[in-house]
Amino acid sequence: MDILSSGLNLTDNALKVLQKRYLKKDEEGNVTEKPEDMFRRVARAVAAADLNYGRSPEEAGTLEDEFYQMISSLYFLPNSPTLMNAGRRLGQLSACFVLPIDDSMESIFEAVKNAAIIHKSGGGTGFSFSRLRPGGDVVGSTKGISSGPISFMTVFDTATEAVKQGGTRRGANMGMLRIDHPDIIGFITCKDDNKRLNNFNISVALTDEFMEKVEVDGEYDLINPRTRKVDGRFGAREVFDLIVRYAWQNGEPGIVFIDRINQSNPTPQAGEIESTNPCGEQPLLPYESCNLGSINLAKMVPNGEVDWEQLRAITHKAVHFLDNVIDINQYPLKKIEEMTTVNRKIGLGVMGWADMLIQLSIPYNSEKALNLAEEVMGFITSEGRKASEGLAEIRGVFPNYNKSIYAGSVKVRNATITTIAPTGSLSIIAGCSSGVEPVFAVCFVRTVLEGTKLFEINPYFETVAREKGFFSREMMDRISETGSIHGIAEIPEDVKEVFTTAHDITPEDHIRMQAAFQRYVDNAVSKTVNFPNQATTEDVKEVYLRAYSLGCKGVTVYRDGSRESQVLSRGNGESSGQATGDGQAAGEKQKIIPRKRPDTIKGTTQAMKTGCGTLYVTVNEDEEGLPFEVFNHIGKAGGCASSQSEAIGRLVSLALRSNIAPEEIITQLKGISCHQHAWSRGGKISSCADAIAKALELYMTKGKGNGNGRKLNNVVMQIGACPECGGTVEHESGCAVCRNCGHTRCG
């Protein structure tokens, strides 16, 4: 089916993402519905819930049309599982789940099983490992020694890896541990080895007491969860500084302020909140799930002003929609259905915030933007609560109402109403900026069809640039180098102020924006605080402290290029202090003898366009399927170009035959620049050396080994290139999102 014939106003990228991940397919993988069919399928299934409340089929049909209009016009979109599964056999519509883990082998593996069922259905799971006894503690039944919570996290990680291979939505986990758990140091450092826990985001649950000890440089107690007795003391600042250092190093662990989360727990008598969903914005009780949805704020500025009436109407309709989803959802576990339906939590959020600001000519990093953030989110939460009150009058309050903070006051249908989630794939479908993040890049390059270069330009910027007369292909080329327009003299200052990107603004601006939205959100706000590569640990520490003082419920940070340096400096996991294959210490002087070339060898050749002509790069592999040598030939070129590329190939081959990790070689060559550039394979080729590096990288990502029989997908994701299409990857709330094809990876 040709979905490009869709009558909806969807971008090419939106159609690509829909075709790959959302639209129905037959057994051969052929798409069997168009985007309008998908929207109609979802609207019909969700509207049918009204039949349970005395509405006639005709009234349900009218509601179906209203829901269809709302989602097909991209004013509002529900979370991905709802778009994928509503009106289909699977029928699992929630994105967020939290599962309990008690201190027993039975509970641990029950949670592993339940997580696998949830991942299979398209959901993500959050866990607190804080109830598990620490490593080295006694095991009562056998008098043996406990391995501790971190070892059991690897069991969950392995199960997720196995299940996600067959899914349309990759499984993701949140792993959380309280700051006062005796194994907290091991937890903070558990992702130091980049081959571990790749299906987890991790966050430390910080208490108010701990933050007070940090302020006065005091010590705090560690509590053994088995005995509930003090099991040691740590200096609070030392532990806090360790969290900061690891977050600076690779973005993890994140932090959540667990006491603050429980202070706003709407049903405290029903239980204590211990964890959140994988991206941190949805705190949930054990066995709770939540379905989310986002209003597209870019559509709420039709004439250069916020259309408050339209925003009110969409908010009310979206709350109705999300409440209906609870009723038609086919829950993966009976316990989840029970907990979800007694609290009826929904999470209405926003996307397109940066686009709204641009249309209003308001700089993201301005007091005016902060004030508008509070006004817009305060309005949505207020109107959302009114909508929930209206539903309660017809359908009744949620069953746990008498155990809630609302008891005896306002009567609402839903325990929580608002959440701000990351909207990676949804914002691609809607053609808007993601969540409440600033614009990631004003312009970047995408290549198609034999190296044809296409500029992906922010449509608002292109309009302004053409109207003001400074648009040119040469300028777009310059902007695409960094994605930012700052530093380009021809662009007026007022335009630069409005089109500020994630890396143009300060971390302080990021956290102040998060705090502005948090003031009017029931649950939490998913947002990434971006740091430049040269940021220090003190910069990260200041943001963490600022987040606590401003009332945020958690923080996720990402320092530009931090994961690249960690992954590539570690190679295959061996550092200078480890032993080499022959038992000799790596720090000792030794001679490396390259492996001999076998008589017969096989490989593949890739054509890479360079400024000197087409470079043909051949990668040959050894009997184990690992890269063994590289040859290259540069078309009809001779002289220096030919001899230098041959020299590079010989040295790369020597390194490979000496067991140097391919990613280390790629790092050394990638980005080397000469005076003639070209575009090939999805990005700029800066030189012949750069082309050889990218050819080797492409070879690795197409299923060849990296020394462990595994693809280098994790490395590619972390250094900013999508493993599926080579597009630009954005880091958002612990996840990497490709704006080109919609590929996502959390953990």
Q: Which residues are catalytic?
A: 277, 279, 281
CB 189 within 8 A of CB 154: no
For 486, the token pair is 């700052």
Distances (CA, A) of 242 to 130, 186, 508, 534, 541: 19, 11, 21, 19, 10
CA angle 62, 415, 88 (to 5 degrees): 45
Looking only at the bridges linking them, the beta strands covering 200-206 and 173-178 are: parallel
Q: How far apart are CA 122 and CA 124, in angstroms?
A: 7
Find tokens 């080397």 and name the residue.
Answer: 672
Question: Any idea of the CA torsion for 697, 479, 443, 435, to the nearest 10 degrees?
Answer: 100
Instruction: Enter the tokens of residue 469.
Output: 């007369």
**232 three-class SS:** strand
How far is it, in rounded angstroms, from Cα 219 to Cα 238? Answer: 9
Under a CB-based contact definition with an 8 Å cutoff, are residues 689 and 617 in contact?
A: no
- DSSP, residue by residue, 592-606: PPPPPPPS--EEEEE
- Which of 554, 507, 505 has its CA nearest to residue 529? 507
User: Which residues, in sequence order, are CB contacts of 294 under 8 Å at separation 6+?
Assistant: 76, 77, 348, 349, 350, 351, 421, 423, 426, 435
Q: Is 260 within 8 Å of 392 (Cβ atoms)? A: no
- Torsion sign across C-alpha atoms 212, 216, 217, 218: negative
- Rounded CA separation 435/280 (Å): 14
Q: Which long-range contacts (CB under 8 A, 24 or more apart) does 722-731 make?
A: 725/682, 726/681, 726/682, 726/683, 726/698, 727/446, 727/682, 728/440, 728/441, 728/444, 730/424, 730/434, 730/440, 730/502, 731/251, 731/528, 731/530, 731/558
CA atoms within 13 A of residue 56's CA, in its CB half-sphere: 3
Largest CA distance in the chain: 86
Q: Which helix (H) or strand (E) holds 387?
A: helix 367-395
DSSP, residue by residue, 454-499: EEEE-HHHHHHHHHHT---HHHHHHHHHHS--TT-TTS-HHHHHHS
The tokens describing 157, both together, are: 């990680």
Report the C-alpha gap between 567 and 716 in whole angstroms. 10
- The two tokens of residue 676 are 């003639």
Residue with tokens 């070689």: 665
Tell me the residue type at 658: S
